[in-house]
A and B are shown apart, each in its own frame.
Chain A
Amino acid sequence: MSEPLLKVENLKKYYPIKNGVLGRVSETVRAVDGVSFSVNEGETLGIVGESGCGKSTTGRMIMRLIEPTEGKVSFEGKNILSLSKSDLRRVRKDIQMIFQDPFASLNPRQTVGKIIEEPMIVHGMGNHKERKQRVEELLELVGLSAYHAKRYPHQFSGGQRQRIGIARALAVRPKLIIADEPVSALDVSVQSQVLNLLQDLQKKFHLTYIFIAHDLSVVRHISNRVGVMYLGKMVEISDSEILYDHPKHPYTKALLSAVPIPDPNSRSERIILSGDVPSPAHPPAGCTFHDRCPVAMDLCAREKPVMKKLEDGRLVSCHLYD
């Protein structure tokens, strides 16, 4: 198989908590604690997990919107983390991001045309006339109309704004798009429109997606492979069919069983996890999931599990599969 487009190795982000007049570091919050995965060209990798599991931080570290504490991110063989500012800018042309909140991520004082044109100006693409034409093409591409370029974001609905965000991301012809909860602020009927649009664009431009979301059904629909995160760590990652049909990690199992299925005929017994996700400043010793795990063993409280590859190709980090 060919080299993956993006390879993330042992990525970490620690936030120090400073206390007292001297500002001594009293504790560290391990927001992301050693995450590794790779993304192949043309595929969609879904990253799921609950709030605070570090999925968004991971997404942002890939673009260096947040500086990682440790680790390696290679994009087309180049280590992004060691690039100079100007080189980084060049790489960012190839990696674009779509954000969750279409209200907060569009400048309310700029017209839609200006918003979509801006990344092209930043990366020095085309002259004014060419850019204007490209803005119109992009608007049509995402299902809006050319005349919308003169309007302001507040004149659009949530779904339309998300389309504008997608057009902006596409403006510089990226290879990889990191979509951070792109549909979670949208209603179901609009959500399906945006998901279909993302899939159409992927086929058309051979795009690679990292799709970060908390909605497991949405992630299954759009992803080829899925990684499940818990408390800053990847606990299981595999082809989405395998993961959803036969989850192995107890957290993945609980997460999947907690999803309410829109079918009253299958009111299934849920695995209900007790308690809340622990604070990433004081993660439990051993396996970070052991205090909520329904099948925890003595070993789990003592030793951290490591990622292992199983026969079906999936990676799982759990002592049950040692």
Chain B
Amino acid sequence: MNQSILEVKGLKTSFFTDDGEVPAVDGVDFSVGEGEILGIVGESGCGKSVTSLSIMGLLPSPPGKIVGGSISFKGEDISHAKESRMRKLRGNDIAMIFQEPMTSLNPVFTIGDQLMEAIRLHNRLPKKELAARAAELLKMVGLPRAKELLKEYPHELSGGMRQRVMIAMAMSCNPKVLIADEPTTALDVTIQAQILDLMLKLNRETHTAIILITHDLGVVAQVCKRVVVMYAGKVVEEGDVKDIFNHPKHPYTEGLIRSIPDLHSKKDKLYTIKGSVPRPGSIEKGCLFAPRCEYVMDKCRTDSPELVGDSHKSRCFLHQVQE
């Protein structure tokens, strides 16, 4: 196995609101190896985006705060690093792309201005070289007529092109880790296929590790090597993508996979997970999935299961009883 480059251990992130502390991320562990593509899946409110913001040091604070655990990048704990240190890391070592490429780009500056700014922050280059490097990056992400594009504004580009520009910006300093938070959710399927293809190509060529955060199990199955499944602020299952899809251990993962309509065959009725995701902090004891689980046992309502297993881990008593 590759050496891990980013390791998250027992991460807890809470939001302090007028109604008290809301634990959005409640003890998350995972690690990413060099050049690996890790998927983090889960539904809205499971804490996947808060996890990525915590890693980047981009939590809106207040109200958000990391209250426990560690995030180590190449052995250095960055969970409470100073802003000046984070500024160096962000972009240079860890970069991020977001769901909505329109809101991540500044509408009043040209693509060239924004791309060159990103490069200049980490590499002081003469202006001519900056422009050349920017054009080169645009070519790398498969955008035609790079020279003219540098002079255009974000609104002149389509959604897919904007996301390519965001990827070019993120890749401008050859980061070791790229965090992609729902990078294709706002795009149409044919454009999504283009962007995923591009991300796979960059991963092969530059050996940048990718953390792909998404709610789309199809995207995960097609792109990732290892998968972390999150539910209500906790990791409920982790393992190789084939193990997760072929032999899901946690009832939530199983339910999620069975809920998706199949493109290749028609079922009479879809499987459903009853109920809905609990509000953070609303379940005080026991397994957080117990109220919706069809295999629920008495123990599940009182005790919290731990995440156990070697290469295929799950947080469920079903698999701990057998062991």
Contact = CB atoms under 8 A, between A and B. Distances in A.
Interface of A: 50-51, 157-160, 187-193, 195-196, 199, 214, 216-218, 220-222, 240-241, 244-245, 254-265, 267, 270, 272-274, 276-277
B276 A220 contact: no
Interface in B236-270: 241-242, 245-246, 255-257, 259-264, 266-267, 269-270
A270 B195 CA distance: 12
A256 B261 CA distance: 14
Contacts of A190: 43, 276
Given A159-B276, A217-B260, A221-B270, 19 more contacts: A187-B277, A189-B272, A189-B277, A193-B274, A195-B270, A196-B272, A216-B189, A218-B261, A220-B261, A221-B262, A255-B190, A256-B263, A260-B222, A264-B222, A264-B241, A265-B246, A267-B221, A272-B193, A276-B191
17 contacts: A50-B188, A50-B190, A188-B43, A189-B272, A190-B43, A196-B269, A214-B189, A221-B262, A255-B190, A259-B218, A260-B193, A261-B263, A262-B221, A262-B257, A264-B222, A264-B241, A276-B191
Nearest to B43: A187
Interface of B: 43-44, 158, 160-161, 188-194, 196-197, 215-223, 241-242, 245-246, 255-257, 259-264, 266-267, 269-274, 276-277
Interface of B is mostly: helix
B264 A244 contact: yes
A320 B260 CA distance: 34
Contacts of A158: 44
10 tightest Cβ-Cβ pairs between the two chains A and B: A260-B218, A221-B261, A50-B188, A187-B43, A258-B193, A192-B259, A192-B270, A262-B217, A189-B273, A260-B222
Contacts of B260: 188, 192, 217, 262
Contacts, number: 130
Contact of A276 (B44, B161, B196, B266): B161
Contacts of B271: 192
Interface of A is mostly: helix
Max chain B C-beta neighbours (<10 A), residue from A195, A260, A277: A260
Contacts of A214: 188-189
Contacts of A267: 221-222
Given A188-B259, A262-B260, A276-B160, A270 B266 contact: no
A51 B277 CA distance: 29
B245 to A, nearest CB: 5
Nearest to B188: A50
